[in-house]
Amino acid sequence: MAEDLIIRRATDADAEAISAVIVRALIEVNAADYPIDAIAEFVAGADPAGVRARLAARTVFVAERGGEVVGTAGLEETSSGAALRSLYIRPDRHGEGIGSRLLETVERIAHAHGYRFLAVPSSITGETFYLAHGYARADGPGDDPHVTIPLGKRL
- Site residues, ligand COA (CB under 6 A): 25, 29-30, 87-89, 94-100, 122-123, 125-126, 128-129, 132
Cα(12)–Cα(123) distance, rounded to whole angstroms?
A: 25
Closer Cβ to ligand COA, 29 or 109, answer by number: 29
Shortest distance in whole angstroms from residue 56 CB to ligand COA: 20
Shortest distance in whole angstroms from residue 98 CB to ligand COA: 4
Shortest distance in whole angstroms from residue 8 CB to ligand COA: 17
Give the DSSP per-residue string, 46-71. TSHHHHHHHHHHSEEEEEEETTEEEE
Closer Cβ to ligand COA, 52 or 94, answer by number: 94
Closer Cβ to ligand COA, 105 or 122, answer by number: 122
138, with CB counted inside 10 A (0-12, 13-18, 19+), is: middle
Shortest distance in whole angstroms from residue 30 CB to ligand COA: 5
How crowded is the C-beta side of 51, counted as CA atoms within 13 Å?
25
Taken in order 115, 101, 129, 74, the sign of the CA dihedral is positive
Closer Cβ to ligand COA, 115 or 129, answer by number: 129
